[in-house]
Structure 1
Amino acid sequence: MFKKISLIANRKSGQNSRDAEAIDRALSAFGDGAARFDWHPETPIEDTVARALARDPEMVVVAGGDGTVMAVASALLGSGVPMGVLPLGTFNFFARGLGLSEDPEVAARQMMSAEPHDIRVGMVNGQAFLNNASLGIYPAILRERETVYSRWGRFRLAAHWSVVKTFLRFRKPMKVTLTIDGKRETRRTALVFVARSAYQLNLFGIDGEDAIDADRFAVLVSRAETRRALFMMAARLALGHPMRGRDYDLYSAKVADIHTKRRRTLLAFDGEKRLESGPFRFRMSDESLTILLPQSDAEA
């Protein structure tokens, strides 16, 4: 049972009444030993994590979506302090992959009796990621999603509409050169998706869990090269029936290098994105992240 807890909350996530109430209920569940630290995304996350660690907590809890969790996890690498997750985002793939409830208060109670477990996270050009990183159509979807969210709010239906709009604007696939564990191959594709977590793959019926269980990346290269093929692939994903060899090719990788023709390419990582100069090197982190697994998942 943890007694001294530092909770880091994304200030933007706590601005609406629902999230603010959820954080308050979680703090109550954690007890008198919990203290809250607000992070403003305009400031370095390392500063907030340093303040949270200064009180020598037994656990650091992140209140936010996958992007916030990724930012805090990156700052906690190698610290040895267990990290818990209070899901407040739209999808919460990382929290759900750990077996945590999407109800923040229930998740808080699960964490109080959870087991610490060390993992290595994915890195791409020095950027940590927990779920996935990608090049191609998916980063473009995230860019469109921000526009849709600004107009309609952060709803899952709005996120799905951003997919449709991006597909309609699709023109041609990108040319990439993949070097996976020393083997080189050139492809034309709309998407290269590098997964570090099996949860999202299993959710859509995509292969790759075996690679991740072997402490490797599951590298998926879309076979779709046209707008129609993208819509067909998305439909099969929605139904949970994508097929390896028809919709995508799968590579198991310890290290993957990806070269694109463009000087700068939009890179997505755990729901965030930014323009980056290639080539893109994917590898495992040198330092471990200590996460908290609910007892049933820790035993499994």
Structure 2
Amino acid sequence: MRRAALIYNPASGQQQHRRLARVQAAAQTLEAAGIAATLIPTEAAGSAGAQAAAAVTSGHDAIFACGGDGTVNDVLQGLVAHAPDVPLGVVPLGTGNVLAFDLGIPRGPAAAIRKQLTFTPRRIAAGQIEYQGRDGNRESRYFTLGASVGPDALMLYRTHPALKKRIGIFEYFRQAVLFLLNHPYEEFQVSIAGREEKTRCSQLSTVRVTRIGNRIRYFTMDSGLHRDDFHALWVATPNLIRQGIYFLSLWGGFKWKVQGIDGMLCGELHCEVLPDQTYAHGLYAQADGEVLGGLPVTIRIVPQAFTLLMPPVTAH
């Protein structure tokens, strides 16, 4: 690594002057290690991918996404399409920093850079989701963490941007409470590659990372960024008590079997609406915390899609 670009959203989050100072601290840490650093503010919503590709064209040999998981996802689009061999690093500054947490990257910008200077570039798979865009056309997007269809995507869709900016993660909690109080149980159909039986469910999540949560409390999945698959989890019960028991068991590290909730490792699946089901609030898909569109949805693994700075593999 000789020349790194640090891409950040200057308009995101609270206290924007502090955000710039943190990006500058990350750049200074790189320069202290003998690596030239360029700060690149995003120009518009969704521009980070094209700007990452342009930075590579201009001679940068590493890209650091400075922000939350949404910023990482934007940058990922440009690297997968144009520079899959250029390593992606993360400076966690956002509301959600699931990827940084899974990789063991500290929240402080200087500490995050120093940690990743000990990491190894590794070519890994990405997830890809194809969905129905809001204009009716088929679209696709890559992801690192996971993608889902159902109530969690609807909650993200309803998240109020101004409140999220002001109260952060508590806006997600507010939407979760509103959902539990008001949302009806609505099913769709899932077909998993290699599995003859089709599944009816109300929520489908695919997960690529191993650890989900935060440094205070998290739960682990069978998935992992080093794998060429994802963990698919579906909810096929309207019983909120069963759902609560299952997710509490995950949180406690037990992974209890609960009727109506199941999962498996797989590499591709397809979701579609049921002709006998009405959808009062619509069905939405999301990837890496960004709401995308509606059904039909196909989620698959793309092997060797991009390069990520990852902790060195330890011999057993």
Deviations along 1:46-86, whole A, 9 cap, x unmatched? 43123311331221111011011011112101621111111
SS of corresponding position for 2:171: helix
Q: Is the 8 A contact 2:231 2:263 kept in 1?
A: yes
What is the aligned-residue identity percentage?
21
Listed one character per residue, the Cα deviations across residues 12-33 of structure 1 (whole Å, up to 9, x for unaligned) are 2376233122111111111161
Who is 1:138 aligned against? 152
Q: Distance in 2 between matches of 1:177 and 1:89?
A: 32
The question of whether the paired residues in 2 share the 8 Å contact of 1:8 and 1:49 is answered with yes
| Aligned positions of 1:144-293 closer than 5 A | 144=158, 146-147=159-160, 150=163, 153-187=166-200, 189-200=201-212, 204-205=218-219, 207-209=221-223, 214-227=227-240, 229-230=242-243, 233=246, 243-246=256-259, 248-261=261-274, 265-278=283-296, 280-293=297-310
More helix by share: 1
Residues 178 and 154 of structure 1, relative CA distance in 2, 3 Å threshold: farther
Q: Which residue of 1 aligns with 2:137?
A: none
1:29 alignment partner in structure 2: 29
Distance 2:21 2:97 in 1: 18
Q: Does 1:59 align with 2:62?
A: yes
Matched residue, 1:39: 42
Q: The residue matched to 1:122 in structure 2 has which SS?
A: strand
8 Å Cα contact 2:73/2:144 also seen in 1? yes
Which residue does the alignment assign to 2:314?
Answer: 299
1:213 positional shift: 5.9
Give, in whole Å, the separation in 2 of the partners of 1:43 and 1:274: 12
Following TM superposition, by how much is the alpha carbon of 1:171 offset from its aligned partner in structure 2, in angstroms? 0.9
Q: Is the contact made by 1:168 and 1:227 (CA closer than 8 Å) also made in structure 2?
A: no
Q: Is the 8 A contact 1:117 1:293 kept in 2?
A: yes
For the residue of structure 1 that corresponds to 2:262, the secondary structure is strand
CA contact (8 A) 1:171 1:227 kept: no
- Partners of 1:43 and 1:282 lie apart in 2 by 21
Give the Cα separation in 1 of the matches to 2:105 and 2:288. 18
Within 2, Cα distance between the matches of 1:276 and 1:245? 28
Contact 2:250 2:256 survives alignment (8 Å): no
1:198-220 Cα shifts (integer Å, max 9, x gaps): 222896435433x8765211100
Q: 1:232 to 1:17 in 2, by over 3 A?
A: farther
Given that 1:216 and 1:252 are in contact with CA atoms closer than 8 Å, whether structure 2 keeps it comes out as yes
After alignment, is 10-19 or 166-175 more displaced?
Answer: 10-19
Paired residue for 2:11? 12
Please identify runs of 4+ aligned residues in structure 1 that moved more than 6 A. Answer: none
Closer/same/farther in 2, CA of residues 6 and 162 from structure 1, 3 Å limit: same
When the two structures are superposed, what TM-score results if normalisation uses the length of structure 2?
0.81
Match of 1:86 in 2: 91
Deviates more, 1:89-98 or 1:168-177: 168-177
Classify the secondary structure of the residue corresponding to 2:160.
helix
The change in CA–CA distance for 1:237 and 1:247 in structure 2 (over 3 A counts) is farther
1:73 aligns with 2:76: yes
Distance 1:34 1:212 in 2: 27
Tell me the alpha carbon deviations over residues 104-151 of structure 1, each in whole angstroms, 9 at most, x when there is no partner. 22001122332111111111113111111001111122123x227527
For residues 178 and 152 of structure 1, do their structure 2 counterparts lie closer, same or farther at Cα, with a shift above 3 Å needed? Answer: same
Deviations 1:138-187 (A, max 9, x none): 1122123x227527724233322221111111211313232332423132
Check whether the contact 1:25–1:105 (CA below 8 A) recurs between aligned residues: yes
Q: 2:116 touches 2:309 (CA, 8 Å); kept in 1?
A: yes
**What CA distance in whole angstroms lies between the structure 2 residues aligned with 1:207 and 1:248?**
15
What amino acid is aligned across from residue 11 of structure 1 in structure 2? P
Taking structure 1 as reference, are residues 159 and 237 closer, same or farther at Cα in structure 2, changes over 3 Å only?
farther
Alignment length (residue pairs)? 293
How much is the aligned-residue C-alpha RMSD, in angstroms? Answer: 2.8
Which amino acid letter does the alignment assign opposite residue 129 of structure 1?
F
**In structure 2, what residue type is equivalent to 1:63?**
C
SS at structure 2 position matched to 1:40: coil
**Paired amino acid for 2:24:** D
Provide closer, same or farther for how the CA distance between residues 54 and 115 of structure 1 changes in structure 2, counting only shifts above 3 A: same
In 2, distance between residues paired with 1:75 and 1:35?
17
